[in-house]
């Protein structure tokens, strides 16, 4: 039970290591009849590689995805959709020096403690490349949501100490950090230059907003919509905190401030006059915008010398060679979006069985 499956009805299983033959995902439980092409998925994967900037590893690989099953004549068939990306760059570079070392902030030691040994090439299964499968599957979930007029958008709220001050969605894709504030993006660039100079790295915050999600999805006890989102987001490597709505701030608020008043809109639909709750009450969506945030730690791979230990009982000084991203936050934006999309799609599918009248609507002759 290595925990590589996620979701209850819309269920994905990812596989693959950073330097093995490839990585992929099997998406089981996708409803039949969804139009789906390779480019739907490829376009999401491409967002994982900010590419031209100097703030992220310019891995040569194109990460071309292939649809291996589950799609026929341009539509999903209801059977498992298998997606694969071949690793181009498999030749075992000189990892010899890392094979026996426990890098600070990495999972080297904990993998050894669990399994007795590990695939040490490029982080193996705990590499950031593991998110390829999540994003590929998330692309399908996003397509389903779009068919239901539900739209999801993540962006960077802060990098290190540099937070956004304004919110202009049109700016998000115009800077390499996916920030909705051009000025903050410029400052973030400066901050990261400084980090690189100091052989150091930065973290940041990704925010994700979902519009158009209907009320009544999610379950009231363990499988609360916010609980499933929390798991989904915290399962992304390097995330150390998750917030829904006002999040941590709610803890120091007062009931009279934090409660959102219900009211009827001009069109007679129920809405709320504020949204401290972030669109979820009692674990179930309330029809408002869903809002969540992921707090991401600074990239653990830094090139300055670090104290650490090896497998053989010795304390050592480690210098990790090669280029390192001073920040992974921008690459995480599409991953946060994908994980949220997976949860939100699954909750809609699970919700189909919530009422007898649904059963009658679909099954009764």
- Which residues in the 92-121 window bind a copy of itself by CB under 8 A? 102, 104-107, 109-111, 113-119
Query: Using CB under 8 A, which of the segments 46-54, 166-174, 182-190, 230-238 binds a copy of itself?
Result: 230-238
**Residue 358 lies near a copy of itself (rule: CB under 8 A):** yes
Query: Using CB under 8 A, which of the segments 46-54, 57-65, 171-179, 279-287 binds a copy of itself?
Result: 279-287
Is 170 or 222 the residue whose CB approaches a copy of itself more closely? Answer: 222
281-295 b/e (C-beta count within 10 Å ≥ 16 → b) = bebbbbbbebbbbbb
**Residue 46 lies near a copy of itself (rule: CB under 8 A):** no
- Give the one residue of 252, 267, 321, 322 binding a copy of itself; rule: CB under 8 A: 252
Binders of a copy of itself: how many residues, by CB under 8 A? 172
Instruction: Please state the separation of Cα 94 from the chain's center in Å.
Output: 30
| Cα 321 from Cα 103, distance rounded (Å) | 12
* Pair 220, 283: CB distance under 8 Å: yes
Is 124 or 176 the residue whose CB approaches a copy of itself more closely? Answer: 124
> Can you tell me which residue has the tokens 């050592």?
316
**Residue 233 lies near a copy of itself (rule: CB under 8 A):** yes
137: nearest Cα among 209, 90, 205, 85? 85
Name the burial class of residue 186, with classes exposed (0-12), middle (13-18) and buried (19+) by CB atoms within 10 angstroms of its CB.
middle
Query: Using CB under 8 A, which of the segments 15-23, 38-46, 49-57, 179-187 binds a copy of itself?
Result: 15-23
Is 174 or 314 the residue whose CB approaches a copy of itself more closely? Answer: 314
- Give the one residue of 40, 63, 181, 226 binding a copy of itself; rule: CB under 8 A: 226
Query: Using CB under 8 A, which of the segments 53-61, 123-131, 168-176, 181-189 binds a copy of itself?
Result: 123-131
* Maximum pairwise Cα distance, the chain: 72
**Residue 57 lies near a copy of itself (rule: CB under 8 A):** no
| Cα 351 from Cα 82, distance rounded (Å) | 25
Is 114 or 174 the residue whose CB approaches a copy of itself more closely? Answer: 114
Site for a copy of itself in 66-95 (CB under 8 A): 66-70, 72, 75-82, 84
Question: Which tokens hold the place of 107?
Answer: 């999972």
What is the sign, positive or negative, of the torsion defined by CA atoms of 249, 253, 259, 265?
negative
* Pair 295, 239: CB distance under 8 Å: yes
Name the 3-class secondary structure at 143: helix
**Residue 263 lies near a copy of itself (rule: CB under 8 A):** yes
**Residue 149 lies near a copy of itself (rule: CB under 8 A):** yes
From residue 30, give the alpha-carbon distance in Å to each of 77, 141, 256. 8, 8, 42
**Residue 167 lies near a copy of itself (rule: CB under 8 A):** no
**What minimum distance in Å lies between the beta carbon of 219 and a copy of itself?**
3
**Residue 38 lies near a copy of itself (rule: CB under 8 A):** no
Establish how many alpha carbons lie within 13 A of residue 229's alpha carbon, considering only the half-sphere containing its beta carbon. 32
| Cα 195 from Cα 185, distance rounded (Å) | 15
> Can you tell me which residue has the tokens 């497998």?
311
**What minimum distance in Å lies between the beta carbon of 170 and a copy of itself?**
25
**Residue 291 lies near a copy of itself (rule: CB under 8 A):** no
Query: Using CB under 8 A, which of the segments 38-46, 56-64, 166-174, 275-283 binds a copy of itself?
Result: 275-283
Query: Using CB under 8 A, which of the segments 39-47, 53-61, 168-176, 268-276 binds a copy of itself?
Result: 268-276
105: nearest Cα among 280, 320, 287, 275? 320
- Give the one residue of 122, 128, 138, 160 binding a copy of itself; rule: CB under 8 A: 160
Establish how many alpha carbons lie within 13 A of residue 36's alpha carbon, considering only the half-sphere containing its beta carbon. 30
- Give the one residue of 60, 197, 321, 364 binding a copy of itself; rule: CB under 8 A: 364
**What minimum distance in Å lies between the beta carbon of 45 and a copy of itself?**
17
């Amino acid at each position: 039970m290595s925990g590589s499956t996620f979701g209850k009805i819309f269920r994905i299983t990812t596989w693959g290591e950073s330097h093995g033959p490839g990585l992929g995902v099997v998406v089981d439980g996708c409803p039949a009849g969804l139009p789906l092409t390779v480019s739907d998925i490829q376009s999401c994967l491409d967002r994982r590689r900010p590419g031209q900037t100097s703030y992220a590893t310019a891995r040569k690989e194109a990460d071309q995805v292939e649809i291996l099953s589950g799609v026929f004549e341009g539509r999903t068939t209801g059977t498992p959709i298998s997606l694969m990306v071949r690793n181009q760059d498999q030749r075992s570079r000189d990892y010899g020096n890392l094979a026996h070392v426990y890098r600070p902030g990495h999972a080297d030691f904990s993998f050894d403690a669990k399994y007795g040994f590990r695939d040490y090439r490029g982080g193996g299964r705990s590499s950031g490349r593991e998110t390829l499968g999540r994003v590929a599957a998330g692309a399908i979930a996003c397509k389903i949501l779009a068919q239901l007029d539900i739209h999801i958008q993540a962006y960077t709220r802060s990098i290190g100490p540099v937070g956004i001050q304004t919110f202009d969605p049109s700016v998000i894709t115009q800077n390499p950090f996916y920030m909705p504030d051009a000025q903050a993006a410029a400052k973030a660039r400066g901050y990261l230059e400084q980090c690189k100079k100091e052989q150091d790295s930065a973290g940041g915050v990704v925010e994700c907003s979902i519009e158009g999600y209907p009320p009544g999805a999610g379950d009231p006890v363990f499988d609360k919509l916010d609980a499933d989102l929390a798991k989904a987001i915290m399962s992304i490597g390097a995330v150390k905190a998750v917030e829904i709505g006002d999040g941590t701030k709610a803890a120091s608020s007062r009931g009279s401030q934090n409660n959102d008043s219900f009211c009827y809109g001009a069109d007679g639909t129920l809405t709320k006059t504020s949204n401290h709750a972030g669109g979820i009450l009692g674990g179930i969506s309330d029809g408002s915008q869903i809002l969540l945030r992921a707090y991401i730690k600074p990239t653990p791979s830094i090139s300055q010398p670090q104290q650490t230990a090896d497998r053989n009982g010795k304390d050592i000084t480690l210098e990790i060679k090669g280029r390192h991203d001073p920040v992974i936050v921008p690459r995480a934006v599409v991953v946060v979006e994908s994980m949220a999309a997976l949860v939100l799609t699954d909750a809609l599918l699970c919700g189909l069985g919530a009422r007898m009248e649904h059963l009658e609507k679909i099954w009764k002759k």
